[in-house]
Amino acid sequence: MKILVTAKRVEDPESKIKVKPDGSDIVKEGLKYKINPFDEIGVEEGLRLAAKHTGEVVVVSIGGKEVQEQLRHALAMGANRAVWVNHTGPLDQLGIAGLLQKVAEKEKPDIVLLGKQSIDDDQNQVGQYLAEFLGWGQATFASKVESLESAEEKSKAPAVVLSADKKSVQVVREVDNGLATLEVQLPAIVTTDLRLNQPRYASLPGIMKAKSKPIEELTPAGLGVDVAPKIQVLKLSAPPARKAGIKVPDVATLVEKLHNEAKVV
Amino acid sequence: MSIVLIVAEQQPDGNLRKASLNAIAAGKQLAEKSGGELHLVLLSKDPSKVAGELTGTGAKAIHTAAAPEFEHYLAEVYAPAIAALAQELKATFIGAASTAQGKDLLPRVAARLKAAMATDITAINGGGADITFSRPMWAGNVFAEVKLNTPVQVISIRATEFSAAITGQNVSAEVKTFQPKLEASKTKFISFNEVKSARPELTEASVVVSGGRGTKGDFKEVEALADLLGAAVGASRAVCDAGWVPNDYQVGQTGKVVAPKLYIAAGISGAIQHLAGMKSSKTIVAINKDPEAPIFQVADYGLVDDLFKVLPALREGIQKLK
């Protein structure tokens, strides 16, 4: 079985993001970069599926040469090889999905695993666009029924369950008011939610081995994809600041403030 | 003239999803600003009940399609039907509430129509042909003004930023039925396990009481206060991951976005990702033992103490007012 996983480079989710005074971009100085947390869950799920069903995990990232850092991270976790689509400059979700479509058509994976959203754009679109472009079924927001602290989690079994005839997968999805289970024919698109698994750390031997794993370089022109963005970001701004609140000394004061000042109880 | 097509969502229990009324209100605003008219679409096994409710919302027309295949929502079944209707109507804008269904469905519709999409819009700006949308990025730490440069534009709407459309208006919309061509689906619905609760729905509640790591998994006090206030119960990611409460209690960047009139955070430190889901609440109360917890930076009223002492006392204090 072949699994294609994505690894977008994003700002560290713990970092404080500030907008430049002219609203053209965010302040990049001093920021650390990571693999998108949802993509990391996708890599982990891919590795678990590959371990259980003997398969290959191919990781793909789009961006300048700095994204090789995220590809190496996925390779250090255990992915077999990497595809780097070398592109600098603006790119929107249509462009990303267009490029991933070409990579998927070239690689012919059984499953493409993507994060449900990237923590910078927060768009939650690419997996769905890709599914439609390829004409495949989709299972978005894949989750796990058991808690991440369960014994099963520790045994590292994949949550995406392959059918006996290996022609479809069962996926539990996190939706509003509960969990929905779908069966999707392969090849399929699966996007990951936070509660799918707990990604492994890259081991030192893993990091050493990753250095010699191959990274194939592709370009949008070579793939024949026009990536000119259709989503134009005109301006960024900081959200309205909340008025500073107060600390109250005791419950009685809190009740009094909620009743007389905020008038909410 | 622009046509704005809003997708109405029917819940598994057959009722209209309340967030759809907020999406309809946003659609009405978009129709006014772009100089067009508002249409609604509803796919269902039995659209009659919800369609009736939708006729009084001020839309020009309600397009309904009935088929047994629409009983359980599937993106692969819904997207082609909605895209085909949008093409027939020559819709310029397609939108829906930014629910799990809206987020799953709309990009697939957009892909079919080669349309650009903005997720979770919080405002509609400009007018005529120059419509732009505001939307949050980086967990709500940045707001972007975006323009979608495709003939068809797709938006998902953050319900908490638009007040719900009024139903039962005098001007009644025309209900039109249509028969979409159904394609063979590669996806099959297996089951839905609903989390049933007697409390109000999290995204619709006017008061939310949330618990975090500080509860150590004991939500009894959080729930007792919620019940006294007629509130919904929320949670931080950590407690959902631990399996202490169901996943769909989670408030935050990757969970639900709420904006109640009162949000009480008990034992929640206030990570960026959690704040993204509740920062727009009108009044925020934080109860935490750690005076340095970031939640205090957004709280209107903060109390540094043990939640197991504070919550029962708070309940008693509020009870006395009643």
- For the stretch A41-54, pLDDT in tens is 999 999 999 999 99
b/e map B29-40, b = 16+ CB within 10 Å: bbbebbebbbbb
Residue A154 has pLDDT above 90, yes or no: no
Q: Considering only residues 201 to 220 of chain B, which have any Cβ-Cβ distance to chain A shorter than 8 Å?
A: 201, 203, 207
- Paired strand residues for B285: B264, B301
Q: Considering only residues 152 to 181 of chain B, which have any Cβ-Cβ distance to chain A shorter than 8 Å?
A: none
Cβ distance B147 to A234 less than 8 Å, yes or no, reads: yes
- Rounded Cα distance between B175 and B41, Å, is 10
DSSP string for residues in A105-120:
HHH--SEEEEES--TT
Nearest to A247 by CA among B28, B270, B292, B210: B292
pLDDT digits (tens, 9 = 90+) for B201-217: 999 999 999 999 999 99
Rg of the Cα atoms in chain B: 21
Cβ distance A182 to B190 less than 8 Å, yes or no, reads: yes
Between the alpha carbon of residue B263 and those of residues A19, A129, B50, B89, B214, the distances in Å are 27, 36, 31, 42, 16
Residue of B nearest to A149 (CA): B242
Name residue, tokens 């693999």. A35
| Chain A contact for B188 (CB, 8 A cutoff) | yes
pLDDT band, residue A150 (cuts 50/70/90): confident
Which position has the higher pLDDT, B168 or B301? Answer: B301
Residue B49 has pLDDT above 90, yes or no: no
Q: What are the backbone angles phi and psi of residue A153, rounded to the nearest 5°?
A: -60, -40
Name residue, tokens 């659209």. B47
- Name the percent of chain B lying above pLDDT 90: 93
- Other beta carbons within 10 angstroms of residue A172's beta carbon come to 25
pLDDT for residue A75 = 98
Residue B60 has pLDDT above 80, yes or no: yes
Q: Which residue type sits at B136? A: P
pLDDT digits (tens, 9 = 90+) for A172-224: 999 998 999 999 999 999 999 999 999 999 999 999 999 999 999 999 999 99
Q: A60 with A12: CB under 8 angstroms?
A: no
Cβ distance B146 to A141 less than 8 Å, yes or no, reads: no
Tell me the chain B residues in contact with residue A184 when contact means C-beta distances shorter than 8 Å.
186-188
Name residue, tokens 């006392």. B313
Q: Long-range contacts of range A67-71, CB-CB < 8 Å, 24 or more positions apart?
A: A67/A7, A67/A9, A68/A215, A69/A9, A69/A33, A70/A7, A70/A8, A70/A9, A70/A33, A70/A34, A70/A35, A71/A7, A71/A215
pTM (two decimals):
0.96
Cβ distance B141 to A178 less than 8 Å, yes or no, reads: no
pLDDT band, residue A86 (cuts 50/70/90): very high
pLDDT band, residue A240 (cuts 50/70/90): confident
pLDDT for residue B202 = 95
Q: Which residues contact B209 (CB under 8 A, 6 or more apart)?
A: B222, B223, B225, B226, B229, B231, B232, B233, B234, B264, B266
Q: Strand A161-162 to strand A168-175: parallel, antiparallel, or no bridges (unpaired)?
A: antiparallel
- Rounded Cα distance between A190 and A152, Å, is 21
Tell me the chain B residues in contact with residue A136 when contact means C-beta distances shorter than 8 Å.
186
- Rounded Cα distance between B306 and A138, Å, is 45
Helix locations, chain A, DSSP H: 37-53, 68-77, 93-107, 126-134, 151-154, 204-210, 220-223, 251-256
By CB neighbour count within 10 A (0-12 exposed, 13-18 middle, 19+ buried), where does A213 fall? middle
Tell me the chain B residues in contact with residue A12 when contact means C-beta distances shorter than 8 Å.
none
Residue B300 has pLDDT above 80, yes or no: yes
Question: Which residue of A27, A117, A125 is the best one to mutate when testing the B interface, meaning the one whose CB has the most B CBs within 10 A?
Answer: A125
Write the residue in B119, B261, B272 that is nearest to A122 by C-beta.
Answer: B119
Q: Which residues contact B276 (CB under 8 A, 6 or more apart)?
A: B136, B139, B140, B141, B252, B253, B257
Min Cα–Cα distance to chain B from A4, Å: 19
pLDDT digits (tens, 9 = 90+) for B121-139: 999 999 999 999 999 999 9
By CB neighbour count within 10 A (0-12 exposed, 13-18 middle, 19+ buried), where does B71 fall? middle
pLDDT for residue A184 = 98
Q: In the 8-state DSSP scheme, what is residue B252? A: S
